[in-house]
Each structure stands twice: as structure tokens, then as C-alpha cells.
Amino acid sequence: MKEEIQKEELENIKNEEETDNIKNEEINFEEKYNEVNDKYLRLHADFENYRRRTSKEIIETISTANQKLILKILPIIDDFERALETHKDTDEGIKHIYKKITNILEKEGLIEIKISKGDAFDPEKSEAITKIKGEENLKNKIVDIIEKGYELKNRIIRFAKVIIGE
């Protein structure tokens, strides 16, 4: 009988040890699961941030894709405007060509920055290339516009070059 009780106690001890081992394995498994799950969630968040950032960059690149080309065309537009200004009796065909080019650029999102002589100088829209002494009422105001400024889709791509009073 003693032997049976000892065997039974040994079996109980073994069962308790096995139960403890199983519980320890469960705890280890749960810790590993939490660790792996945490890594997964962080990786997923990093990927989502990467996806948003690249999507934003792609949209920005597409929206300003024509910027380099437009910047190369702007001096030609300036030349057209000077030619039309000096030769008021210019052929209607040339005026028509100028209008077509400016319409195409406007459809692409190009907008002329509206400034005029006498306006207060705004360094957010224009660049002062020189100052000249003049009348007191023209101090820090635009005296002359040398080159027009332009925005492309709400982003300044060329500042207006102006002369301001001193």
C-alpha cells in the first residue's frame, strides 16, 4: 500500500511538473506571440507611413512635372510680351500664337503673380533686384517690374523681379 501511495505521489509530482512546464511553455509562447505581434504591428505602421509618403511624393511629382519645361518657356513668353509691347501694330497671327501659348500654360496651372507699380513690396511674391531713390511716397513700393512672377499650382516657380523705391 505504501508503494502505491508513493507511486501515486510520484505521479502527482510528475503531473504537477508537467503542468508547470506546460504553463511555462504557455507563458513563453504568449510572450513570443506578443513580441512577434508587436513587431508585425510596427512593421505594418512603417509600411503604411511609407505608402502615404510615397503616394504624396508621386502626387507632388505629377502635379509639378511640367515645371522644368514651363520654366524654359517663360523667357519666350517674356520675349513675346516685349515684342508685342514695342510693336503695337503687330500682325494678328503673332498675337494669336501668343494667346494660344498662354492659354495652354494656364490650363497646366500656370498663374501670373499679380503685382503692379505702386504696390507695397512683398518679398513672398517678388525679388527686389535694386533700389532707387525717388519720391518719399514710393519708399518700399514697387517702382518698376523687370520680370513677371509665376505660380504653378499654388507654388511660386519664378519670383517677380522688381525695382523698389528707397
How confident is the model over 18-34, as pLDDT tens digits?
Answer: 777 787 788 888 888 99
Dihedral over Cα of 125, 119, 72, 99: its sign: positive
- Domain 67-165 adopts which CATH fold? Nucleotide Exchange Factor Grpe; Chain A, domain 2 (2.30.22)
What is this structure's pTM?
Answer: 0.61
CA distances from 35 to 27, 29, 42, 153 (A): 12, 10, 11, 46
Residues 6+ apart with CB under 8 A from 155: 64
Domain layout of the chain by residue ranges: 1-63, 67-165
> At 60, phi and psi to the nearest 5?
-65, -40
Of residues 48 and 94, the one with the higher pLDDT is 48
Distance from C-alpha of 41 to C-alpha of 125, rounded to nearest angstrom: 45
Q: Amino acid identity of 8?
A: E
| Type of residue at 73 | I
Average confidence score pLDDT of the chain = 87
- Span 76-132, pLDDT tens digits: 999 989 888 888 777 788 888 899 999 999 998 899 999 999 899 999 999 999 998
Under the banding of pLDDT at 50, 70 and 90, the label for residue 1 is low
Which residues, listed in sequence order, are joined to residue 110 by a DSSP beta bridge?
Answer: 152
Q: Could you write out the DSSP letters of every residue in the chain?
A: -HHHHHHHHHHHHHHHHHHHHHHHHHHHHHHHHHHHHHHHHHHHHHHHHHHHHHHHHHHHHHHTTTHHHHHHHHHHHHHHHHHHHH-TT--HHHHHHHHHHHHHHHHTTEEE----TTSBP-TTTEEEEEEE---GGGBTBEEEEEE--EEESSSEEEPEEEEEE-
